[in-house]
Amino acid sequence: MPAKKYHVVIALLLALACAMASIFSGCGPQDVPEEGLTAPSLSEEETLPGYHRITAQQAKQRMDSGEPYILLDVRSQVEHNLEHIEGDLLIPHREIEEKAPQLLPDKHQTILIYCASGVRSKTAAETLLRLGYTDVYDFGAITDWPYGVVTEK
């Protein structure tokens, strides 16, 4: 093969390798948006003032403290029917803006939010903060909740 063609082939292979690396880098399951997610969520560095990400253990401590709180599930009705944390309130993330004023009238009440993997709970927390809620805590995924759930019979 002539040297000029050889260099062109090598350049094309390198370009292809770079393209493939950029496509597949950072594409783990946590980076895949949940079905139905429409509004982009801010990155960890870009979170709104007042946004609090806590662990399931910290959420449980708050729940056991005796202080009033709202436990908010922002998944779909179908997901909620399959399993949920006892005592929660279901408002699917797509309905937060519409239903929060009626179902969550106290904007200073402690709200603990969860979903299936943490994507929708973060989006819902950010939406509530934009609506003027002040005590919002996102504890992410129900799969990280080790304290038992109510399941469909």
Q: What is the pLDDT of residues 95-144, one digit of tens each?
A: 999 999 999 999 999 999 999 999 999 999 999 999 999 999 999 999 99
Q: How far is CA 44 from CA 23, 54, 63, 126, in A?
A: 22, 13, 25, 12
**Helix, strand or coil for residue 112?**
strand
pTM beyond cutoff 0.85: no
Q: How far apart are CA 60 and CA 46, in angstroms?
A: 26
Q: How far apart are CA 32 and CA 119, in angstroms?
A: 9
Residue 51 tokens, joined? 């946004």
Rg (CA), the chain: 21
